[in-house]
Amino acid sequence: MKIKLDENLPGGLAEALAALGHNVDTVESEGLKGFRDENVWQAAQVAGRFFITQDLDFSDMRKYSLGTHEGLRLVRLAQPSREALLARIAFLFATESITDWKGCIVIATDRKVRVSRPA
């Protein structure tokens, strides 16, 4: 899967997901750190990448309509340390059926994964 990681995620996550066979890019490596959400989102979509972030601004399903994008994962942990984020996201990518997430908004918490799919 082609993935773009937002700047609010730990740097080691790119390497962990690449080790699972994913093509991973980051907002920082593209020189988009500090850019507006709209610019980051557009770059992810132009590149055909599934976007992963902690930014709640990306949870608006009216703005990020299901089925109109490559997919979006919002990670919301109770205590989002670098280690906890890295462990949770890497675990989900190793154990979930991620190919089914195209066009979906996926919200991952400490204990659950909720997938909103296009109708």
Per-residue pLDDT of 85-98, as tens digits, reads 999 999 998 899 89
Residue ranges in the chain whose pLDDT is less than 70: none
pTM of the entire structure?
0.94
Q: Which tokens in the block code for residue 104?
A: 């979906």
Rg of the chain on CA atoms, in Å: 13
